[in-house]
Every structure is written in C-alpha cells, then in structure tokens.
C-alpha cells in the first residue's frame, strides 16, 4: 500500500524537501506550534537584527504595539530569551474584519549567544516598537590590538 501513497513522509524521499520548505514557510508566517490547553497553540516569533562589534552584541527586536511591561527579556544557559504577549487594544464589538494579518497573542524568541557575553551588564531599551538589547563582551574575549615597533 505504501507504493500507492507517494506523498507519505519518507526520509530523503522526493517530496521530503518540499514538505520541509512548506513547514518552514508556515512557521514563519503562522508561528511555531506549542503544546498547551489540551491542544496546540501558535506562538509568534518577532523578527530581530543581530549585530556584533568588538565590544558588544546588539539585538534589535521589532515588537510594534507591545508595551514594555508585557516583555520578559532574560539570559538562560547561553541564550537570550525574548517572550511576552501582544494584546489587542481595541474592543472587537460591531467590527467587520475583511482580513486580520497582525498577530495577537504570546511570542517567544531564543537567540544563542557567543561565548564571552557578560550577563551582568546587559541593557535593554524600547523606542517606537523596537527593543534594543545590548550585551557587552567580557574583556578577556575582546580583540586586543598589538602594536608593532619598527627596528632600524
């Protein structure tokens, strides 16, 4: 019977790559499935920019419409964790929606950090829906400039 169902999941089969790509696409737009309340819920993962300089790592997360009190930022086991909730601010009575694309609900994002991040000096600020988290590097992992002296 397996020969009559070519779409069945076969590791390395001809449709495996397509199925994997489709799952990634759905997760990007709909969120990751998370178990809870006897079923599966969807969580939203905010988009981030991650920039590394010689002295620090800077993470910018787009969280428009999210109040700072609804965001939990923590460092756990070598990773930066962003979690919280985006709430709908307006009452939904007597409104006829034609399309709803903005995500309302819980979000979660885990970003692995390089070794040498200094968890004691992390700062976070929010401006116009962009949360900026700055994680300094410990002095021992920063690049050291060595001067070269000319000998005549």
Residue 132 belongs to a domain: yes
Positions in the chain short of pLDDT 50: 1-8, 35-40
CATH number at residue 83: 2.60.40.790
pLDDT at position 115 is 84
Can you give the pLDDT at residue 1? 43
29-67 b/e (C-beta count within 10 Å ≥ 16 → b): eebbeeeeeeeeeebbbbebeeeeeeebbebbbebeebe
DSSP letter for each residue of 38-68 = TEEEEEB---EEEEE-SSEEEEEEE-TT--G
Count the Cβ atoms, other than its own, within 10 Å of residue 8.
Answer: 11
Q: Say if residues 58 and 134 touch (Cβ distance below 8 Å).
A: yes
Is 59 inside any structural domain? yes
Show the beta-strand stretches assigned E in the chain.
32-36, 39-43, 48-52, 56-62, 71-76, 79-86, 105-112, 123-127, 130-136
pLDDT at residue 144, as a whole number: 81
Question: Does residue 50 lie in a domain region?
Answer: yes
Residue 122 lies in a domain: yes
Domain count, the chain: 1
| pLDDT at site 104 | 73
The per-residue pLDDT for 133 is 96
82: in domain: yes
Q: How many CA atoms lie within 13 A of 17 on its CB side?
A: 2
Domain that holds residue 73: 46-88+101-140
Q: Is the residue at 29 inside a domain?
A: no
Residue 64, pLDDT score: 87
Q: Would you say residue 72 lies in a domain?
A: yes
Residue 9 lies in a domain: no
Neighbours of 18 (CB within 10 A): 11
């Amino acid at each position: 019977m397996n020969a009559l169902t070519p779409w069945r999941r076969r590791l390395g089969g001809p449709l495996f790559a397509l199925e994997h790509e489709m799952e990634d696409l759905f997760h990007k737009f709909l969120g990751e499935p998370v178990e809870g309340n006897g079923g599966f819920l969807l969580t939203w993962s905010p988009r981030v920019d991650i920039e590394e300089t010689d002295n620090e790592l800077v993470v910018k997360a787009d969280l428009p419409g999210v109040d700072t009190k609804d965001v939990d930022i923590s460092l756990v086991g070598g990773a930066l964790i962003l979690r919280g909730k985006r709430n709908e601010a307006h009452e939904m009575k007597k409104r006829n929606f034609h399309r709803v694309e903005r995500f309302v609900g819980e979000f979660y994002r885990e970003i692995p950090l390089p070794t040498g991040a200094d968890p004691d000096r992390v700062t976070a600020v929010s401006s116009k829906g962009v949360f900026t988290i700055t994680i300094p590097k410990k002095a021992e992992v920063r690049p050291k400039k060595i001067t070269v002296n000319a000998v005549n």
